[in-house]
Structure 1
Amino acid sequence: MDGIDLIKRNVQEVVTEEELEALLNEKEHPTAYVGYEPSGKIHLGHVLTVNKLLDLQNAGFGITVLLADLHAYMNQKGTMEEVREVADYNKRCFIALGLDPEKTRFVYGTDFQLDPEYMLNVLRLTCSASLSRARRSMNEVGRKMDDPKVSQMVYPMMQAVDIAMLGVDVAVGGIDQRKIHMLAREGLPGLGYKAPLCIHIPILLGLDGTKMASSNDNYISVDDTEDSISRKLKKAFCPAGVAEDNPVLQLFRYHIFPRYEEVVIKRPEKYGGNLSFNDYWELESAFLDEALHPMDLKNCAVQYMNDILEPVRKVLQ
Structure 2
Amino acid sequence: MDDYELATRNTVEVVTEEELRSVLSQETKRVYAGYEPSGEIHLGHLVTINKLMDLRDAGFDVVVLLADLHAYLNRKGTMEEVGELADYNRRCFEAVGLTGVEFVLGSEFQLSPDYQLDVLRLSQKISLKRATRSMDEVGRQMDNPMVSQMVYPIMQMVDIAHLKVDAAAGGIDQRKIHMLARENLPTIGVKAPLCIHTPILNGLDGKKMSSSQKNYISVADSEEVITKKMKKAFCPPEIEENPVLQVLKYHVFPRAGTVTMQRPEKFGGNREFTSYEEMEGAYAAGDIHPADLKAAVAGGLIEVLEGAREYMNANRPE
TM-score range, shorter chain: over 0.9
User: How far apart, CA to CA, are the structure 2 residues paired with 1:211 and 1:30?
Assistant: 34
8 Å contact kept, 2:95–2:312:
no
Partner residue, 2:71: 72
User: How far apart, CA to CA, are the structure 1 residues paired with 2:80 and 2:249?
Assistant: 37
User: How far apart, CA to CA, are the structure 2 residues paired with 1:206 and 1:229?
Assistant: 14
Partner residue, 2:106: 109
**1:216: how far off?**
2.7
User: How far apart, CA to CA, are the structure 1 residues paired with 2:133 and 2:163?
Assistant: 24
1:136 maps to which of 98, 108, 133: 133
Partner residue, 1:298: 294
List aligned pairs for 1:226-245, cutoff 5 A: 226-240=223-237, 242-245=238-241
Unaligned runs of 5+ in 2: 314-318
State the TM-score, normalizing by the size of structure 2.
0.95
User: How far apart, CA to CA, are the structure 2 residues paired with 1:152 and 1:239?
Assistant: 37
Specify the code of the residue in structure 2 equivalent to 1:232. Answer: K
Correspondence 1:8 to 2:4: no
Deviations 1:177-218 (A, max 9, x none): 001101111111011111000001111111111111233322
Partner residue, 1:168: 165
CA RMSD of aligned residues (A): 1.2
State the TM-score, normalizing by the size of structure 1.
0.96
User: How far apart, CA to CA, are the structure 1 residues paired with 2:181 and 2:254?
Assistant: 30
Partner residue, 2:215: 218
User: How far apart, CA to CA, are the structure 2 residues paired with 1:36 and 1:24?
Assistant: 24
User: How far apart, CA to CA, are the structure 2 residues paired with 1:272 and 1:257?
Assistant: 22
User: How far apart, CA to CA, are the structure 1 residues paired with 2:74 and 2:232?
Assistant: 33
User: How far apart, CA to CA, are the structure 2 residues paired with 1:270 and 1:119?
Assistant: 67
Partner residue, 2:50: 51
User: How far apart, CA to CA, are the structure 2 residues paired with 1:308 and 1:79?
Assistant: 34
Unaligned runs of 5+ in 1: none
Q: Secondary structure at the match of 2:305?
A: helix
**1:311: how far off?**
2.7
Percent identical pairs in the alignment equals 61
Specify the code of the residue in structure 1 equivalent to 2:231. Answer: K
Q: Secondary structure at the match of 1:20?
A: helix
Specify the code of the residue in structure 1 equivalent to 2:251. Answer: H
Q: Secondary structure at the match of 2:173?
A: helix
Specify the code of the residue in structure 2 equivalent to 1:169. Answer: D
Deviations 1:226-259 (A, max 9, x none): 222212111111123x211111011110000100
